[in-house]
Chains A and B, each alone.
Chain A
């Protein structure tokens, strides 16, 4: 009963790297796009839609035109999607909408970043710069530490329960040679033994920033069959933005993903418990906890006891971030969120190799940006 007639036919993911020297974001973007279009089995001229992310510092304006010119394409639809870590998922829904509206037929969605030793700070004159930064609250960590402390106080959740989320990510990453922490599993006790950064967050509960990139190609469902790989269909989507600064959040223990996921599940006619894969945005351990609760998989505050009763590897009853998630792969800035889509497509193509979920049919993908404030959820389904 999908309202959408769009499918993902091509994917690419650049191997995450700790740092880069002398490369540009445009180099990474073009590598990701070319690989994704080749993966789809298409020629470059088939691409007539382009969705890109914002590029602070390097190409602050005219980003779509700059990227299109660099790639030598002339899209009929192009735009910037600026939803932080939810940008990748937001792009897929916008691509489907643009195709349905007749704006274009085949859209490439791309996010990529280099990582120089001393990355430039974004020049801000927004309310956060005036009402957070002067108080010593720069950076993202604090905006996740505050909901986590509140969750512990309100529900009695424990540091061990949160640390286990990172340990699961590390464990799943042992089947993903591209993960930054491949070959480096970590137990719950290892996570808790890492330094406190912003209490109650430990270092290993926070994503490691890396360079990388990812792209997906979306086209009309009718055109999607008979290509190089089986198509993966968009069954439902939802989106919500509630605030920007953590002080303005309507709630510290439930986020905008709740509404986004409800919408995506309503469109798809499926439930969270039906999903073959939970591909959940995991910038911090608390983000996974909030998402499991907001998805209705367990009662509010009860992610810890619920996780104790389930298994989250590719053979488990609730496979979760089978690639290791961003907690174990590293976070390639905005492309990190797209990694959750890439992994879902691999699983739904039944091309995930040694970590393949048997009979994978559907996946929930979540994207989260800023301070638990920008949310996009997708439900994807395998071709039948």
Chain B
């Protein structure tokens, strides 16, 4: 699966100065999130202001890379034709332990392994020319 992903020619992200630290961290196989110095809440995706309290004092912190699977969909027909070669793949909503939810892919051999509420962990993979923050079921997963 991941060998196939490395050869996909698919649309990549367009980082801007505000979001670039997120992608730089992914390049090093890490998840970084903004955190508000005033209300202390975590923010995803990266912004100029905190969406919780409108403070401008956002700073980057390392995130745990851990979360739970909030929902998923097994994609049989991709919305973008360049992704069709990778079907079936599993789009996931991951609620990070820090609070925010992000959309990603869950890397599983068998889609029936996916369990809503199950623990997942960051696994950065090469997709075409870029590294992307995907997830996989956690080794110590006691799905509830």
Residues of A within 8 A of B (CB): 125, 127, 129-142, 145-147, 149-150, 153-154, 195-201, 245-248, 252
**Bound Cα distance from A201 to B91, whole angstroms:** 13
**Bound Cα distance from A135 to B93, whole angstroms:** 11
Q: Given A138-B83, A153-B116 in contact, is the A248-B101 Cβ separation under 8 Å?
A: yes
Closest beta carbon of chain B to A128's beta carbon, Å: 9
B77 contacts the other chain (CB 8 A): yes
Stretch at the interface among B5-13, B27-35, B56-64: B5-13
19 contacts between A and B (CB under 8 A): A130-B13, A132-B103, A133-B80, A134-B11, A134-B13, A136-B75, A136-B91, A138-B79, A142-B75, A146-B71, A146-B72, A146-B73, A150-B70, A195-B76, A198-B74, A245-B103, A246-B93, A247-B103, A252-B71
Residue of A nearest to B86 (CB): A136
Interface contact A137-B116, CB-CB below 8 Å: no
**Bound Cα distance from A133 to B117, whole angstroms:** 24
Number of A-B contacts (CB under 8 A): 108
Residue of A nearest to B104 (CB): A135
Interface contact B72-A149, CB-CB below 8 Å: yes
B102 contacts the other chain (CB 8 A): yes
Q: Indicate which residue in A137, A149, A201, A252 contacts B103 across the interface (CB closer than 8 Å).
A: A137
Question: A195 contacts which chain B residues (CB < 8 A)?
Answer: 76-77
Question: A247 contacts which chain B residues (CB < 8 A)?
Answer: 44, 93, 101-103
**Bound Cα distance from A200 to B117, whole angstroms:** 17
Q: Indicate which residue in A127, A134, A146 contacts B12 across the interface (CB closer than 8 Å).
A: A134
Q: Indicate which residue in B13, B105, B116 contacts A136 across the interface (CB closer than 8 Å).
A: B105
Interface contact B78-A138, CB-CB below 8 Å: yes
Interface contact B77-A198, CB-CB below 8 Å: yes
Residues of B within 8 A of A (CB): 10-15, 19, 44-45, 70-80, 83, 86, 89, 91, 93, 101-105, 111, 116-117, 127, 130, 132, 134
**Bound Cα distance from A137 to B74, whole angstroms:** 11
Question: B44 contacts which chain A residues (CB < 8 A)?
Answer: 247
Question: A196 contacts which chain B residues (CB < 8 A)?
Answer: 74, 76
Interface contact B10-A199, CB-CB below 8 Å: no
**Bound Cα distance from A248 to B134, whole angstroms:** 18
**Bound Cα distance from A197 to B78, whole angstroms:** 8
Closest beta carbon of chain B to A286's beta carbon, Å: 11
**Bound Cα distance from A26 to B127, whole angstroms:** 41
Residue of B nearest to A131 (CB): B45
Residue of B nearest to A248 (CB): B101
Q: Indicate which residue in A140, A199, A252 contacts B76 across the interface (CB closer than 8 Å).
A: A199
Interface contact B10-A136, CB-CB below 8 Å: yes
Residue of B nearest to A154 (CB): B116
With most chain B CB atoms within 10 A of its CB, the pick from A133, A135, A138 is A135
**Bound Cα distance from A338 to B14, whole angstroms:** 35
Closest beta carbon of chain A to B48's beta carbon, Å: 12
Question: A154 contacts which chain B residues (CB < 8 A)?
Answer: 116
Residue of B nearest to A199 (CB): B74
Closest beta carbon of chain B to A373's beta carbon, Å: 14
Interface contact A131-B73, CB-CB below 8 Å: no
Q: Given A125-B14, A146-B91, A153-B116 in contact, is the A134-B132 Cβ separation under 8 Å?
A: yes
**Bound Cα distance from A141 to B74, whole angstroms:** 11
Question: B102 contacts which chain A residues (CB < 8 A)?
Answer: 131, 247
**Bound Cα distance from A248 to B45, whole angstroms:** 9
